[in-house]
A and B are shown apart, each in its own frame.
Chain A
Amino acid sequence: MSDSLSNLNPVTARRAIRVLRPDSPDQAVSLARQFSASYTAGGTWLQPTHERDQCWPETLVALNSSWPGFRGLDAGPNGLTVGALTSLAELARQALIRDYLPPLAMFLNRVAGPGVRTLGTVGGNLIVGGDLSALAMALDVRVDVINHTGERALPFSRWLRERASDDLLRGFTIPDCRGWRISLEKLGYRERFSPTRATLACVHDGDRVRLAVSGEGGLLRLVATETFVNDRADLASGDVGAVIDRELAAHGWQDAHLRMALRRMTTELLSEVALGT
């Protein structure tokens, strides 16, 4: 049994990576297609992943935050548009975030660590199913995506199902959620800078409750639970826990203790948004 690494797979060393720097989003898309390359922005997810397995992509297409619409926040009639290359640290500092998503600024302290938040982008966090993806899912954000066929806007959840390899995320638009009640909770292995076990987002839009979770079992909009809560439930009955548990178990959340925590976190967040506390 011969076992030198070189026989197993070709190793792309870090120094062999080509980094292409396109002038425009369109050029980025065409380079990504031409070289079957991944996009890179902050690089905070990509690097640990490849440093661990010591096998790197041959080519990266670097995105540029000065391209129009790719960075910063903009409040408009359709809601709040966030550029995908806005860093997590910038997001936490924005006054508009305090208007639209009051709990988010504090919550961001629990997303990665300070240095990683300075480099890491909002778009990157969404794409890897990070802590913000549950909130984006619960808010029904619409993403603004560019690829070789042009540009389109579509719901985040649909994009995740249909995503093409050359899809470039320019940003996303949060509906005008001022006045909505929003609650967020993360369970990790320690208080800060922890891998996510589960992040739960609970949104009450004045009419209906929306719930989404990300973490060990993957990103999931808790559709059945929402239906139960919005259409049938007497919240006091406590039956919602069983519904959540079934829904999570059916969608890859295997750890029963973690589901138990999520049941209780959900109940807590539901009471927060219902009571408006």
Chain B
Amino acid sequence: MELKPQPGMAGTGVLERIEGRFGYATDQHHLPGLLHGAILRSRHAHARLLRVDTSRARLMPGVRAVVTAADVPGLNRFGIVVRDQPVLCEDRVRYEGDAIAAVAADTVEQARAALEVIDVDYAPLAVVDQAETAEQMSPLHGESNLLAREAFERGDTDAAFARCEVIVEHHYQTPRQMHAFMETEGGVAIPDNNGGVIFRVGCQSGHRDAEQLADILGLKPSQVTVEATPTGGAFGGKDELTIQPAAGILALQTGSPVLIHLDRFESCRTGIKRHPVSMIMTTGCDRQGRILAHRVDALLDTGAYASLGPAVLENFLDHATAPLYRIEAYSVSGRLVYTNNGVSGAFRGFGGNQATFAVESQIDALAEKLAMCPMELRRINLRTVDEPGSRGQVVRWTAPPSNVLAEAGASPLWAPAGSDLRRRWLTGTGMAMGAQGNGLGDGLPDSGGGRVSLTAEGRIRLEFGFSDYGQNLAEAITCLVCETLGCVAGDIDVVLGNSRGPDSGPTSASRSSVLIHGVLADILPRWNDCVRDQAAALTGLPRDQLHSGPGGLFAGGRQVLSYRELAEKGQPEQTLIDASQAFPVAPEGNQPVGRYLQLQISTVARVAVDRLTGRVRVTDLHHITAAGRVIYPPGYLGQIEGAAIMGLGMALSEDMPTRQGHYLADNLDQYIIPTMQDVPDQRVDVLDNTPTTDRFPVRGVGELGIEAVAPAICSAIEAATGIRVRHLPVDAGYLLAELCAQEETCS
């Protein structure tokens, strides 16, 4: 069924957003006594710090504080998985974004002017700028530049390869993509006058950030509050702490609120990126096309600090096992190495889409060698809903994979493109599939909670710890609450992302929707009972005749008590209900492995390749998603469309190459993301066979849309030109050279 946006479902805060009064983290210039902070970054990708002299900076006009490593009150380290990144470097810098000192001053200009007179003596060290040779270089941390190595094995891969009729082996490379959220990292740290600090910052996990910040600032956890404010995009790029530590230290030193807002140059230089992956994939099948053996050897460049690298490696490998396909034996391994090439970490897709790009390309390569239709090859190898997942785990799909494939086969995009394109443009259609798990996965602790209450004003308040950076979470919550309680949007307040509120866990890993649905299914019936009990006491009507509805409680088809009256006359404080639940990671009693809740997508792409220049235009994208129930259609559609265009950017234009550890792009004129005219028409069809009794009918779709776009585009390019591109982003020059070579052979 084609998903339509359903006009008129405008959500909360939409008008405020359009009218520019939504109050983003970096809009908070009105705070009394506000100071502006700035951070001194390393000029070298790798060096010893011999001397940091701030004496001149302290004398600069307007300067209120200058801090270095010596001024970090607590732990001078942060990082979600491994706390290995200095807040302010002590004796060594490991990438060009490393922070050395920070200044608070009356104006931004004064703060930046002061940075310029901080004298730093460096002794440059050899720059580790090639992931391939990183392990032979002197280590950035500890004993070796090998941060992690992991392998998943199943069956006897060598023996399985020996039985293969056809084997394909290729090298794949994916780019160091930048999140390029429109609001660069920023926010304020505000002293609370009791020795603690309140943060209003664009972030993805208030609770987790508060824990780390308490350690850094040498405060008790109760002294740090994170109020996640509306954030101008994140996509994983604000998962780690960004400006919070420096802002917090400066706020404590000065006793004043401190605002730090990175400009785009600094954001490009310091912000985390998507892991570039270099991998060799070998895949074999028998004469009938049954895939028997699969081997992956991958190298991920994690940059100077661990960040979420180890978790990205795990998710990459999980996807590299080809979760959609039944493969007798595989040996999938990856190495994660430190280099001085910035820092890589969380980014929508989280390693998975890099692997899927290669896996799907391999399927096409096998089909080509077998002279078989690539969709037919997929069909005979796809798992059924009853089979275990690629890692032997129980999997809950929301539709049979073969149905998702069949819908792709029926896409109107397989019809030839209009003839106006024919002369100059080579056109073609291709497809790819992808699977995407929900949740942090692989047995990592994963749980989250939420809260419902009736406010003194008679509003139904829902609180979750998730951050809002544009995913329409509030709208999804509102829709679910209205559906369950029969009330209307006007009855509901949604409060998100306060570290003092319920801890829902991080806003990542496509986990929010699943937890929201699960928690609401728990707390709303209990809340409803509680409210009906109170209403029964107040009205004298039997509880069984009362039910909640728009504006209040109803009996016999008419409203007998408004929520406001209930709040005034009843005991609203007793309506507060909290619940937390474990993220569904495995069926009861089973050991969690891989991803239990799985989604699927198939993406059909139609492209036009310019015969003259090799440049590629994607003219159409058609996605078939199987990701459970749609709660809020515009939100679902927006997530799929938005993620797909990120995938398109990664496929065609986005990369952050480095030279000697320095990024070669520093702003949006050099780092090229799609504009309105680069995007195709998109269509999203939703396939949902989830039984109504399923306990997890709602899944998170934040990452699904990016999964299969790049391989679908490359498949379409191959259909148009006969050339398969395996290194992203697609190099138009390479494609052109191949086209020319082809023409010469033909003529």
Contacts and interface: CB of A to CB of B under 8 A. Distances in A.
A and B interact = yes
Interface in B654-672: 666-667, 669-670, 672
Contacts, number: 85
A7 B115 CA distance: 13
A112 B484 CA distance: 51
Interface stretch (B576-584, B674-682, B686-694): B674-682
A260 B614 CA distance: 10
B653 A13 contact: no
A192 B613 contact: no
Contact of B118 (A4, A261, A264): A4
Nearest to B43: A3
B19 interface: no
Given A4-B118, A52-B265, A261-B733, A194 B672 contact: yes
B121 A3 contact: yes
A2 B117 CA distance: 11
Given A4-B118, A268-B424, A261 B109 contact: no
Given A3-B43, A11-B116, A257-B736, A187 B672 contact: no
A116 to B, nearest CB: 10
A103 interface: no
Contacts of A2: 119-121
B116 A4 contact: yes
A77 interface: no
B124 A1 contact: yes
Nearest to A5: B116
A194 to B, nearest CB: 7
Contact of A264 (B611, B666, B677): B611
B723 to A, nearest CB: 14
Given A52-B667, A260-B736, A189 B424 contact: no
A195 interface: yes
Given A3-B43, A5-B116, A268-B424, A190 B678 contact: yes
Interface in B609-640: 611-615, 617
Given A3-B43, A5-B116, A6-B117, A261 B676 contact: no
B536 interface: no
A192 B612 contact: no
Contacts of A257: 614, 731-734, 736-737
A187 B615 contact: yes
Interface in B111-133: 113, 115-124
A187 B669 contact: no
A268 to B, nearest CB: 5
Nearest to B666: A52
Interface size class of A (residues with CB under 8 A): 20 to 34
A195 B124 contact: no
A9 B674 CA distance: 37
Contacts of A194: 672
Contacts of B119: 2-4, 7
Given A3-B43, A190-B675, A190-B678, A268 B612 contact: yes
B73 to A, nearest CB: 26
B740 interface: yes
Contacts of B614: 257, 261
B36 to A, nearest CB: 15
Interface string B294-314: 000000000000000000000
Contacts of B424: 268
B117 A192 contact: no
A261 B677 contact: no
Interface string B574-616: 0000000000000000000000000000000000000111110
A15 interface: yes
B121 A1 contact: yes
Contacts of A185: 612
Contact of A195 (B120, B670, B676): B670
Nearest to B612: A264
Interface string A93-125: 000000000000000000001000000000000
Contacts of B675: 113, 190-193
Given A1-B123, A191-B617, A265-B612, A260 B737 contact: yes
A62 interface: no
Interface in A240-277: 255-258, 260-261, 264-265, 268
A48 interface: yes
Contact of A4 (B120, B615, B672): B120
A2 B612 CA distance: 51
Interface in A1-27: 1-7, 11, 13, 15
B456 to A, nearest CB: 48
Nearest to A48: B669
Interface string A26-67: 000000000000000000000010001000000000000000
Nearest to A192: B677
Contacts of A1: 121-124
B433 to A, nearest CB: 27
A264 B743 CA distance: 13
Nearest to B614: A261
The winner among B675, B676, B734 for most chain A CB atoms within 10 A is B675
B676 A192 contact: yes
Contact of A191 (B43, B678, B737, B740): B678
Contacts of A261: 612-614, 732-733, 736
A205 B303 CA distance: 56
Nearest to A269: B612
B419 to A, nearest CB: 16
Contacts of B670: 195
A260 B123 contact: no
A16 to B, nearest CB: 11
Interface in A164-217: 185, 187, 189-195
Nearest to A110: B677
Given A1-B123, A6-B117, A189-B653, A260 B669 contact: no
B116 A6 contact: yes
B721 to A, nearest CB: 14
B669 A255 contact: no
Nearest to A267: B612
A257 B672 CA distance: 20
A7 B116 CA distance: 9
Contact of A3 (B120, B674, B732, B734): B120
Contacts of B740: 260
A15 B613 contact: no
A15 B120 contact: no
Contacts of B120: 2-4
Contacts of B653: 189-190
Contacts of A190: 652-653, 672, 674-675, 677-678
A1 B117 CA distance: 15
A48 B265 CA distance: 11
A166 B670 CA distance: 31
The 8 A-B residue pairs with the shortest CB-CB distance, nearest first, are A257-B733, A261-B613, A264-B612, A192-B677, A191-B677, A4-B119, A5-B116, A189-B672
21 contacts: A2-B120, A3-B119, A4-B116, A4-B118, A5-B115, A15-B109, A48-B669, A52-B666, A185-B612, A190-B652, A191-B677, A192-B678, A194-B672, A195-B670, A195-B672, A258-B733, A260-B736, A260-B737, A260-B740, A261-B613, A265-B612
Given A3-B121, A48-B667, A192-B676, 20 more contacts: A2-B120, A4-B119, A5-B116, A6-B117, A7-B119, A48-B669, A52-B265, A187-B613, A189-B672, A190-B678, A192-B677, A194-B672, A195-B670, A257-B614, A257-B731, A257-B736, A257-B737, A260-B736, A261-B612, A268-B612
Interface of B: 43, 109, 113, 115-124, 265, 424, 611-615, 617, 652-653, 666-667, 669-670, 672, 674-678, 731-734, 736-737, 740
